[in-house]
Amino acid sequence: MCDTLENPYLNNQKNISCIPEGEYKVRLRTARQSATRDYLHLLVQKVPDRKYILFHRGNTAKDTRGCILVGLTREQDRVNNSTLAMDLLMKEVINLGGEKINLIIKNR
C-alpha cells in the first residue's frame, strides 16, 4: 500500500535507530493525543526501551527521529508523497476497523 523509511538499526538507540525485530501492537492516535502531530497517525506500542514510536509524515531520514515514515514512492534515503500516503493508510486502517493492528518487523 505504501513504502516506508526508517533509520538503520543502531542498538535501538532513541531517535537514531529503527526498532528491533519483533511483533508489536499498533493503535490509532489522534491529533488531540499528540503534542507534535496534528493529524491521525499510528503509535507502535511496547517497543523495548523506547516510547512514542510513530508512523508519521516525513520524507527524509532526518524526519524519522526513530519512527517510521510512509510514502507512495521511494528513492535512496527518501519517501515521496508522504501526506497522501499517510491519508490513504489511515483510511485503510479505519476501513478495516481500526483495531487489532499488528506490526511485524523482520530483518531481510
81 or 32, greater pLDDT: 81
pLDDT at 104: 93
pLDDT at 63: 94
The parent domain of residue 18 ranges over: 3-105
Instruction: Name the nearest CA neighbour of 55 among 75, 41, 40, 39.
Output: 41
**CA 54 to CA 4: how far, in whole Å?**
12
What average pLDDT does the chain have? Answer: 92
16-29 average pLDDT score: 94
Total domains, the chain: 1
pTM of the model: 0.90
